[in-house]
């Protein structure tokens, strides 16, 4: 399930949607959390025209901290202190940009990231809906802030970039099967057929350089070329020991005595 990959220890999660699913963004994230049993600890900002008021953003932050404090005070003194915290689902980036400046959004995202009362922050961005002139840079900025970037590439593939606290980064791609209620994923294996197809494609590209010379090879030519052993390859085939092959001449005069006998070696 996708939720196993997305609902992790990473705090800021950015979902880049290239499939125009923005209308179900909140439901999508909510379902991911629900699958992992965290559906009860979700808070989301009001959407629509209420986003134009900065006060509603501040009120939301205050609400998070107040709820946490209330929960903490409700715990009996003997119990071990559990730090309550929430999963925050932000409105989509397109909606945020309709009412607030990029600087404010980044600042707010950073505040949420630093807040002790926030377990995870989810932000949804659909490039097809980002109207800001600097949308590409803003999206790149969000990617920079995010610790987990889920990119819904096509109906059947997705990519997941995960930045771990130690500095390690993993970039994995997955196959996915999406139904209305389930999002199944499996690691994307490059099949042999796909590799062969790629090699064939490369060959086709090489065969069509756009020049006037015929530099591509027929099948027969290819076989002949592969069968030909080049001089340096012949050299490699010979035994590695330094044998001297000497064919004696008819006129050779061999001296049986050792010429170095007097050296006492």
Partner 1 sequence: MATSVLLACGLNEQKLPGFVHISEESNVDGSFLISCILGQRLRISNAGILLVCLQHHYKHYFNAGMRLGYNTNIFLGKTLDVIDVLRDMACQGLKSKWLCCPQGLSLTEQLVVDIRAQLEKNYASRSSYTILIDNLSILFNLGASKLQVQQFCQSLADLAKEHENLTVITKLSNSDIHTLTDNNVAKLGDVRIQVLRMKSGVFREVDGKLLIERVLDEGSYSCEQSRKEVLYKVNDRNVKIFNPGEIGVKV
* Binding-residue pattern over the window 78 to 117 for partner 1, x denoting contact by CB under 8 A: ----------------xx--xx------------------
Neighbours of 180 (CB within 10 A): 6
Which of the residues 233 through 262 are near partner 1 (CB under 8 A)?
A: none
CB atoms within 10 A of CB 14: 24
Decide if residue 174 touches partner 1 (CB under 8 A). no
Is the separation of the CB atoms in 71 and 27 below 8 Å?
no
Q: Is 154 in the site for partner 1 (CB under 8 A)?
A: no
Instruction: Take residue 198 and report the two structure tokens written for it.
Output: 């790629």
* Composition of the chain by helix, strand, coil, percent to 5: 45, 20, 40
Give the whole-angstrom CA distance, residue 125 versus residue 129.
8
Rounded Cα distance between 130 and 56, Å, is 22
Stretch in the footprint of partner 1 (CB under 8 A) among 160-168, 176-184, 197-205, 246-254: 176-184
Residue closer to partner 1 by CB (options 20, 229) is 20
From CA 172, how far away is CA 180, in angstroms rounded? 24
Least separation in angstroms between CB 23 and partner 1: 5
Does 49 bind partner 1 (CB under 8 A)? Our answer is yes
User: Site map for partner 1, 184-223, x if CB under 8 A?
Assistant: ----------------------------------------
Q: Which residue has the tokens 């987990």?
A: 148
122 binds partner 1 (CB under 8 A): no
Does position 160 bind partner 1 by CB under 8 A?
no
* DSSP symbol at 200: H
Where do contacts with partner 1 occur on this chain (CB under 8 A)? 20-24, 27-28, 30-31, 48-49, 52, 94-95, 98-99, 128-131, 178-183
């Amino acid at each position: 399930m996708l939720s196993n990959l997305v609902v992790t220890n990473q705090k800021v999660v950015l979902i880049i949607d290239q499939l125009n699913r923005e209308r179900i963004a909140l439901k999508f994230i909510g379902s991911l959390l629900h699958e992992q049993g965290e559906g009860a600890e979700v808070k989301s900002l009001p959407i629509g025209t209420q986003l134009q008021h900065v006060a509603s953003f501040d009120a939301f932050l205050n609400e998070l901290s107040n709820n946490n404090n209330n929960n903490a005070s409700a715990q009996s003194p003997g119990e071990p202190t559990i730090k309550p915290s929430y999963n925050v689902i932000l409105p989509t980036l397109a909606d945020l940009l309709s009412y607030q400046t990029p600087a404010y959004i980044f600042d707010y995202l950073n505040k949420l990231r630093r807040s002790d009362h926030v377990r995870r922050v989810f932000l949804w961005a659909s490039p097809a809906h980002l109207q800001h002139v600097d949308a590409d840079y803003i999206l790149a900025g969000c990617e920079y802030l995010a610790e987990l970037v889920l990119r819904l590439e096509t109906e059947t593939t997705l990519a997941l970039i995960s930045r771990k606290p130690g500095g390690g980064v993993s970039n994995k791609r997955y196959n996915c099967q999406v139904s209305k209620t389930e999002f199944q994923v499996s690691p994307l294996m490059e099949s042999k057929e796909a590799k062969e197809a790629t090699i064939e494609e490369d060959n086709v590209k090489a065969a069509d350089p756009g020049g006037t010379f015929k530099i591509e090879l027929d099948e027969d030519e290819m076989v002949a070329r592969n069968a030909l052993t080049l001089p340096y390859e012949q050299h490699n085939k010979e035994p590695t020991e330094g044998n001297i092959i000497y064919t004696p001449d008819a006129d050779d005069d061999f001296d049986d005595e050792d010429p170095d006998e007097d050296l006492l070696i």
